[in-house]
Amino acid sequence: MNNIEKNVLDFLKSGMVYSDGAIMKNLGISSAELKEIYISLTNQGYLENYEDFLKRNPDYEKGEEENSCGGCSSGGCSSKGGCSSGGCSSKDEDIDYSKIKVLTEKAFTYTY
């Protein structure tokens, strides 16, 4: 693992939520460089895509469903579900999870 990969991984491990743009700006790298770093960190086992994470943790998705507003039928929305007075704020199928990267256990336990 090179220094810039370590810096990106440390940035991600900080526990804050950052956009790719924030990572690129703070570390002085381009979008193409960040994409290559994500690929490298994934290949090394430090990151995984969200779909793989859900396959390994099927109960995680069930927990999210408990907080959703379902069909937002009259009065059926819970305040935790993200429903607004006009209905649900968004449905799961409207969200693109394909670009979400999840830190693996290795990212937190492996000394690099």
Percent of the chain with pLDDT over 90: 40
Percent of the chain with pLDDT over 70: 69
Query: Which run of H or E residues covers position 108?
Result: helix 105-109
Burial of 11 (0-12, 13-18, 19+ CB in 10 A): middle
Res. 61 pLDDT band, cuts 50 70 90: low
Global confidence as pTM = 0.67
Pick the closest to residue 15 from 78, 84, 107, 96 (CA basis): 107
Average pLDDT, the chain: 78
Q: Identify the residue whose tokens are 């937190």.
A: 108
